[in-house]
C-alpha cells in the first residue's frame, strides 16, 4: 500500500475545517494544522485545539499573512487543503505563492465547499465571493499547481438543523408550526453531511482520478427540493406545517435589508433556490464522489431529518 500523503489544513478551526482535520487523521494521514498562536490560546477555541491534539494532529504555528511561517509549514507536507472562510478567500493567493515557492506539493485543494462557482449565478454579496473563488481557480491553474476542487454543495447539518429558517439560527430542530420556503420550492439541491464532505475530500487527495479535476459531491438520494425537504419533516413529525413561499422580489429585498452574515447567507440561498444549482457533471473535468467512492456512500448517508 502506498504511503499516505502528509496533509496541511489551513482554516482548520473553522466550520468545515474541523471535520476535514478529523477525517484526515482517522484515515491515517499524518495531519498538520496551521494555527495562529493567538488561536491556540483562545479559550473559545480550546476545545477544538484539544480535540486536534487528542487525534494526534500536529500543530504548526503560523499565519497565511506571514510568508515565512507559511512556507515552513508547507515544506513539511505533501498536500495542502484550505478551508478558510469567506473573508479570506481572496487571500489564498498567499497560499498559492508559498506552494509555488516550496515546489514539492502534490495537490492543493482551495477553499470551495459550496456550489460550482464556474457555473453558478448569484446576487451580491455572494456574487463577489464566487468571483473571488473563480479567480483563485484560474491562478492555481495558471501557476501549474496540481489541484482538486471540492464542490460539496449544501451543508446538511447547517441547513437542515433549521430547515433554512434564518430567523432562528440557534434552533436545534426544524420548525413545528410554520415554515418559510424560498422561491417556488421546486428547484433541486444537494445536501450532504459535513462528515461525509470531509471523508470524500480526504479520499480524493491521493486519487489520480481527481487530479486537476472537480470532485462533485451529489449523492442521488440527497438531491431534494425545498418542498420535498419540508414534506420529509412533516412525515417525521406527523404534522402539516403552515407554509409561506418567499418569492424572489421579497427575498431580494430581505437580502438588501439584512446585515452580514445574514445578507451573505440569504444571497447564497437565492443562488440555490431561485437561480438553481447546476447538478450535472462534465465528466471530462470532474467526477461524482459517491460514484467513485461507493464504499463511503451507504444508506445512512442519505438526507435524514
DSSP line for 56-108: TPEEEE--TT-HHHHHHHHTT-SEEEE---GGGSTTHHHHHHHHHHH---SEE
CB atoms within 10 A of CB 281: 16
Cell numbers found for residue 252: 431580494
Active site residues: 133
180 beta partners: 244
Residue 300 has pLDDT above 50, yes or no: no
Over range 245-273, report the average pLDDT.
Answer: 96
Residue closest to 214 by CA, chosen among 199, 200, 224: 200
Query: Looking at residue 111, what DSSP letter applies?
Result: S
Nearest to 34 by CA among 17, 12, 65, 18: 12
Region of residue 291 (left: phi > 0; alpha: psi -120 to 50; beta: else): alpha
When pLDDT is averaged across residues 158-184 and rounded to a whole number, the result is 91
The CATH label, of 3.10.20.30, 3.30.300.30, 3.40.50.2300, 3.90.25.10, for the domain at 157-188+222-276 is 3.90.25.10
In sequence order, the 6+-apart residues with CB closer than 8 A to the CB of 234 are: 240, 241
Domain segments of the chain as ranges: 7-151+193-217+280-298, 157-188+222-276
Name the average pLDDT for the chain.
94
Cα–Cα distance for residue pair 296/18, rounded to 1 Å: 19
pLDDT at 299 over 50: no
- Looking at the predicted structure, is the pLDDT value of residue 298 above 80? no
CA nearest to 201, candidates 17, 63, 78, 36 = 17
Q: What is the pTM for the complete model shown? A: 0.95
- In this prediction, residues 254-261 reach a mean pLDDT of 95
pLDDT band at 77 (very low <50, low <70, confident <90, very high): very high
pLDDT at 302: 62
Residue 301 has pLDDT above 60, yes or no: no
Q: What CATH number was assigned to the domain covering residues 7-151+193-217+280-298?
A: 3.40.50.720
Mean pLDDT of 52-69: 97
Amino acid at each position: 500500500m502506498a504511503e499516505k500523503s502528509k496533509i496541511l489544513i489551513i482554516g482548520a478551526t473553522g466550520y468545515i475545517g474541523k471535520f476535514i482535520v478529523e477525517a484526515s487523521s482517522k484515515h491515517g494521514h499524518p495531519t498538520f494544522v496551521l494555527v495562529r498562536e493567538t488561536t491556540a490560546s483562545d479559550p473559545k477555541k480550546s476545545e477544538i485545539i484539544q480535540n486536534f491534539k487528542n487525534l494526534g494532529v500536529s500543530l504548526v504555528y503560523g499565519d497565511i499573512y506571514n510568508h515565512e511561517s507559511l512556507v515552513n509549514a508547507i515544506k513539511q507536507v505533501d498536500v495542502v487543503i484550505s478551508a478558510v472562510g469567506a473573508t479570506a478567500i481572496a487571500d489564498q493567493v498567499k497560499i498559492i505563492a508559498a506552494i509555488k515557492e516550496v515546489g514539492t506539493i502534490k495537490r492543493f485543494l482551495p477553499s470551495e465547499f459550496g456550489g460550482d462557482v464556474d457555473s453558478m449565478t448569484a446576487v451580491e454579496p455572494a456574487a463577489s465571493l464566487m468571483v473571488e473563488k473563480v479567480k483563485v481557480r484560474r491562478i492555481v491553474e495558471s501557476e501549474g499547481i496540481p489541484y482538486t476542487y471540492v464542490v460539496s454543495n449544501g451543508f446538511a447539518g447547517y441547513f437542515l438543523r433549521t430547515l433554512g429558517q434564518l430567523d432562528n439560527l440557534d434552533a436545534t430542530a426544524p420548525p413545528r408550526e410554520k415554515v418559510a420556503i424560498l422561491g417556488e420550492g421546486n428547484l433541486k439541491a444537494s445536501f450532504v453531511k459535513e462528515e461525509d464532505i470531509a471523508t470524500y475530500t480526504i479520499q480524493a487527495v491521493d486519487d489520480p482520478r481527481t487530479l486537476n479535476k472537480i470532485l462533485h459531491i451529489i449523492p442521488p438520494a440527497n438531491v431534494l427540493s425545498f418542498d420535498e425537504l419540508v414534506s420529509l419533516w412533516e412525515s417525521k413529525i406527523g404534522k402539516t406545517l403552515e407554509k409561506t413561499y418567499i418569492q424572489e422580489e421579497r427575498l431580494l429585498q430581505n437580502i438588501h435589508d439584512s446585515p452580514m452574515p445574514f445578507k451573505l447567507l440569504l444571497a447564497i440561498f437565492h443562488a440555490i433556490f431561485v437561480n438553481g444549482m447546476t447538478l450535472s457533471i462534465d465528466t471530462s473535468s470532474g467526477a461524482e464522489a459517491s460514484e467513485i467512492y461507493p464504499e463511503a456512500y451507504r444508506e445512512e448517508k442519505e438526507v435524514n431529518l
